[in-house]
Amino acid sequence: PRQPPQPTDRAPIAVLPFKPLTEGAEAALLGAGLAEDLTTALARNSDLRVINAVSARMASQRAENPVAAARSLGLRYVGDGSV
């Protein structure tokens, strides 16, 4: 039988702020808010290790793309998208 993942087997993940498809502060705030809500929802799952929204947002701002943001956080997995 397959063993459940051990705490050390859980690769951490982060949700990057969603990029707005339109100009304006409202769209940017919506994208950031959705990412924070998704981060909070994922963090409720004890089987997941989730990087906090502030760290993910800062990495996203410094990096030129999601792959670079993931690398700067030492992650293999990130979620990103657009609104």
- The pair of structure tokens assigned to 60 is 């996203």
Gap between the Cα atoms of 65 and 18, Å rounded: 12
Asked if 67 contacts 14 with a C-beta cutoff of 8 angstroms, the reply is no
Predicted confidence at residue 38, as pLDDT, reads: 94
Its sign, for the CA torsion 27, 30, 34, 35, is: positive
Cα angle at 79 between 12 and 68, to 5 degrees? 80
Q: How confident is the model at residue 11 (pLDDT cuts 50, 70, 90)?
A: confident
Inter-helix orientation angle 53-62/66-73, to 10°? 120
Q: What is the pLDDT of residues 22-46, one digit of tens each?
A: 988 899 899 999 999 999 999 999 8
Reported pTM: 0.78
